[in-house]
Chain A
Amino acid sequence: MADKATPVLQLTGVNKSFGAVKVLHDVDFAVYPGQVTALVGDNGAGKSTLIKCIAGIHPVDSGQFFFEGRPVAIGGPREAAALGIEVVYQDLALADNLDIVQNMFLGRERTRGVVLDEASMEESARQTLSRLSVRTVKSVRQMVASLSGGQRQTVAIAKAVLWESKVVILDEPTAALGVAQTRQVLDLVRRLADTGHAVVLISHNMNDVFQVADRITALYLGRVAAHVERAAVTSTQVVELITAGRSGDLGLAPTTAENTL
């Protein structure tokens, strides 16, 4: 694989167990600026655990993290955010009882003196949404409870982009959406990469993956089955990597695949 850029974020040899259950085995993972890296795998393959390790929610047992080439330790969600890593969780982690601006700035509110600087936050929220060419949201002061699934996803993504983030991780962003809304969100994912973000897309949907991803990393029972360029593989091969850990020459050696079962 010829890589023009150095990865923004690189993980090597990551291991993670929950009690006796080993969830991640020597996982290597890299994401590149301006590219969408799809992270695929069956339920229980370790996708969510891997991103939670990246987000600082789970500490890893062993393994190294490099951010823009420097070794880093991520001790918590705030440290991940400080590096420029933002995660959009599957359940979106939005507070329904707050409006769009309030959600986008939750935990990092801007203040003037001791009081909240609502005008500046509202302005930034509006700018971020327009930068992402989001036109489906009527008012940034709408309650999140009143938004559609696609709009909620849009707000969650915009929240992640607001912070000069370099790496944006999206956990199943289209899982609950209809066709049109899925289209909108995938367009947004592409625009994120085109504006220089390194995007990680977790998905079960091969259509989504093949529409927007540049590279694909397949996890199989906690191991990386393969890192491939999207253009170099077919959907069938990726499905085989997901379900069997190997496909032809690609993937785990047969013995390794057997052993993990």
Chain B
Amino acid sequence: MKDVSERPPVDDPPGGRAAGGRWPWPAPGLAGAGAAGVRHAGLVAALLLLVLVGVITKPDNFATTGNLVSILALAATIGVITVGMTFVIIGGGIDLSVGAIMALASVWATTVATQSYGPVVMALCAILVGAGAGLVNGLLISYGRMVPFIATLAMLVAARGLAQRMSDRRTQLVRPENDAIMALSTTKVLGLPLLVYIFAAVVAAGWVLLNRTTFGRRTFAVGGNPEAARLAGIDVRRHTLLLYTLSGLCCGIAAIIIMARTTTGSSTHGDLYELDAIAAVIIGGTLLTGGRGTIIGSILGLLIFTVITNLFILNGLDTSDQLIAKGVIIVIAVLLQRRGLRTPT
């Protein structure tokens, strides 16, 4: 983050830097909301297309309640992480450590010591470990002035190492007396497991936080123009710290979901989740440089990814091809967005 106040005390040349100079004439009106709406419509269309492919190729298997529930349950884990990631990226950062933090939280929550306190403490432990690791990321980046990529890369490696050490590289089972955790996956309300509702609640809370609160508004400002945000009296460092803590918190919630789904805590959980989460956010139309993005877009991006995975599995295709398809989709999404970007400015 550049800090203009530290510049040597030399006046700027007249007219040299004034930002207004780039737009000598009023550009044709663009509405931010409208542009996002168009992007979302495109994502929904892509999603429907994939569903259509599913219905045609596997008519008996795809459009079943069981399959749709498993798609949502699969999406829930990375989905919660994606919400936090959306905030971090809109705020101008990146968090590579999400998968590792989730693994660490799942391991910490399933140690013999934690499990002896019961399921509520396990859940709290996962959330606290996640938020704590996120806080460390935030401190390194905002007050330690480290580049987000480096700081969270270090956390990725370190958190996974710590998870391995704590679990002795063994998969830790959630003990039967703590089966309330598993109930999140097995108890169904209106045909959907509870963890899908947790996912929905996190998405809703994230949407409100981003679009209807001061915190969300300032996240856009910090990502779009940190210097303007600072001059407007926003504590940019503190805000950055909170963004990474929020991301860590989401990883903690994701850890609860993965414990419920797999009945285990393991240092191998969430491997490469960071890439899926970042890809979902990018496909959803959030600028990697910050300042623009939506929660809805990220979730649509994630659902597209999850449905693709599901289609490949149902059709018995190679997972390698699945990776290739995902890569191609990321490239197409970014190319389409760049075209969309050029028209307004």
Contacts and interface: CB of A to CB of B under 8 A. Distances in A.
Question: Do the two chains belong together in a single complex?
Answer: yes
B205 to A, nearest CB: 11
Contacts of B213: 111, 114-116
Contact of A77 (B8, B12, B233): B233
Interface string B270-304: 00000000000000000000011000000000000
Given A58-B5, A99-B32, A106 B229 contact: yes
Given A90-B17, A175-B18, A98 B214 contact: no
Contacts of A98: 217, 220-221, 224
A146 B344 contact: yes
Given A92-B20, A94-B19, A148-B20, A81 B233 contact: yes
B82 to A, nearest CB: 21
A176 B32 contact: no
Interface string B1-32: 00001001111111111111101111111111
A48 B12 contact: yes
A94 B225 contact: yes
A143 B30 contact: yes
B212 interface: yes
Given A81-B233, A106-B234, A139-B29, A176 B21 contact: yes
A248 interface: no
Interface string B310-345: 000000000000000000000000000000000011
A52 B28 CA distance: 36
B123 to A, nearest CB: 24
A149 B234 CA distance: 25
A21 B214 CA distance: 40
A177 interface: yes
Contacts, number: 161
Interface residues on A, range: 35 or more
Interface centre among A92, A95, A145, A147 (most CB of B within 10 A): A95
B269 interface: no
Interface string B203-238: 000001000111001101101110111011110000
Contacts of A48: 9, 11-12
Given A23-B9, A43-B13, A149-B24, A93 B228 contact: yes
A151 interface: yes
Interface in A61-100: 77-78, 81, 87, 89-99
Contacts of A177: 20
Interface in A127-149: 138-139, 141-143, 145-149
A106 B18 contact: no
A98 B224 CA distance: 8
Contacts of A151: 26
Interface in A1-51: 18, 21, 23, 41-49
Contacts of A49: 9
A204 interface: yes
Given A106-B217, A148-B26, A176-B15, A95 B20 contact: no
Contacts of B220: 95, 97-98, 102
B18 A149 contact: yes
A147 B212 CA distance: 25
Contacts of A142: 29, 31
Contacts of A141: 31
Nearest to B234: A107
A178 B13 CA distance: 17
30 contacts: A23-B9, A44-B11, A45-B11, A48-B9, A52-B5, A77-B233, A91-B227, A92-B18, A92-B20, A95-B291, A96-B225, A97-B292, A106-B218, A106-B234, A107-B232, A108-B232, A116-B212, A145-B23, A145-B344, A146-B28, A146-B344, A148-B23, A148-B24, A152-B23, A172-B12, A172-B18, A175-B15, A175-B18, A176-B18, A176-B21
Given A21-B8, A116-B214, A152-B19, 6 more contacts: A46-B11, A95-B228, A97-B292, A107-B234, A141-B31, A148-B20
